Amino acid sequence: MTNKYLIGIDVSTTASKALAIDEQGSVVSTKSYPHDLSTPRPLWSEQDPENWWSATSSALRDVIKEIPAEEIVAIGLTGQMHGLTPLDAAGRPLRPAILWNDQRSGAQCEEITEKVGAKHLYQVIGSILLAGFTAPKIRWLKQNEPDVYAQLGHVLLPKDYIRYRLSGAYVADVADASGFGLMDLSKRTWSDEMLAAFDIPREWLPELCESPDICAYVSKEAAAVTGLKAGTPIVGGAGDQPAGGVGNGIVAQGQASLTIGTSGVAYAVSAQYTPEPDGRLHTFCGPMPDTWMHMGVMLSAAGGLRWLHETFAPEMSYNAINQQVESVPRGAQGLLFAPYLTGERNPHPDPYARGAFVGLTLRHALPHFFRAVMEGVAFGMRDQLELLRALGVNPQEAVISGGAAKSPVWRQITTDIMGIPLYTVNTSEGGAFGAAILAAVGAGLYPDVPTACTQMVRKVEVFEPDPAGVAEYEELYPSYQALYPALKETFAALHAFEA
């Protein structure tokens, strides 16, 4: 009997990964190749799209050494969201892609927000307009690189550039395309009003599709480069966070996940389009038809611990760090950490926010700093959870994934601060696994995404909150919440001084 395999491709900021699963959801192969990152100026972040393609094609060739190409029944795509990949009319990149964490387009966001009106804008696009989004970057090109802008023929997101190289099709799924800032999310279509406000021609934008729908096929040219079979179906896929939600089994209202990787994301699904009243969450189209997703994002999560480790204790192992943190009492003896090392999105959309340690005394040493960072990141995730709760998403438990989930002490800190049980699932492949699940639905192996997740995603380990920890962190949380309002003007003054 012929086996049936699904491929999930993940074009992340750090690497391109190709993941193969069978129709029961067992991972049979995973290969990845790294990406280079360029930061030509402070707050800028760029990558070469050709690097994505070479890394992806290399990963696919490696996977196909382990499974027959003719047994791959569909491909799903995921990857970093928001990145502007500007192409000419022939599909050639005009400059490096401007990534999700690039902050150069703040002035363009302010300009469009004033033009459209803040409340009306986030009711249409599901969020406050942020510098990370795609459309402000296009306007930045117009105002700062007119020679590039004059040659524009197509604009794509990172994973959709890989779809284009695989198939020749200019397509984006509605979940990822929501982050352009150009869609009418209630209608799941491009918004004529937003296109007019940004002065962006419709013909530059990709066609839209739903995440599990087949929208392209592998071309003969791409088959020759990757080893895939020409004609293999490609489904819409989704951005890394909605695809990760699928990979974690978050497919019904009332479920939630907490991903604490380089950034931190709280994610939940809704059957209705209900934007957060003040635009402090992203409410985007979901990776299933007729669903939407709520997403709270903190820009620096586990990245904060990595910074502290690499800057002050690079010789120390993470196991040693965990042991040191366990020796420090809750609250790090009065030391708090504001985790805004790269600006912030939710609930404080401020590109000039900064990190801060507050409460330093002579008794504090490196272990206290490590604990304060873990607690500050967990409090930042609690901010996201509270925004979800205010919208009526009141999960009784949540999936935890990312780097923090691998640390027993950080996991317990997070569980106690959230005040609900957290659990892991049977795979840590996240977005790539979710993309492969979407491919399985597109290939007709399952009737819909929830059915596929029921079969493929399983709860593994549950972590219960410690009542004493819950009580102590409830007492400390208001002090954490007061940090940003107290420091906001200082952050702005420091930015002005540095500029």
Q: How many CA atoms lie within 13 A of 153 on its CB side?
A: 10
Distances (CA, A) of 188 to 126, 183, 209, 241: 11, 7, 9, 18
Of the listed 10, 176, 240, 383, which one is catalytic?
240
Residue 131 zone, left/alpha/beta (φ > 0; ψ -120 to 50; rest): alpha
Exposure of 93 by Cβ count < 10 A (0-12 exposed, 13-18 middle, 19+ buried)?
middle
- Please tell me the distance from the alpha carbon of residue 4 to that of residue 26, in angstroms, as a whole number: 12
Are 475 and 459 in contact by the 8 Å Cβ rule? The answer is no
Alpha helices in 65-133 (DSSP H): 106-116, 118-125
Regarding beta strands 27-34 and 233-235, do their DSSP bridges make them parallel or antiparallel, or are they unpaired? unpaired
Instruction: Extract the tokens encoding 59.
Output: 């990963």
Rg (CA), the chain: 22
What 3-state class would DSSP assign to 72?
strand
Structural tokens at position 23: 């129709």
> Can 383 be counted among the known catalytic residues?
no
Q: Which residues contact 268 (CB under 8 A, 6 or more apart)?
A: 250, 253, 254, 255, 256, 257, 293, 294, 388, 393, 395
Provide the Cα torsion 221, 223, 229, 232; round to 10°.
-70
Length of the chain: 499
CA distances from 307 to 67, 199, 266, 295, 313 (A): 39, 40, 22, 25, 10
Give Cα 471 to chain centroid, integer Å: 31
Quick count: other Cβ atoms within 10 Å of Cβ 422? Answer: 24
Q: Smallest Cα–Cα separation from 93: which of 152, 38, 174?
A: 152
Mind telling me the catalytic residues? 240
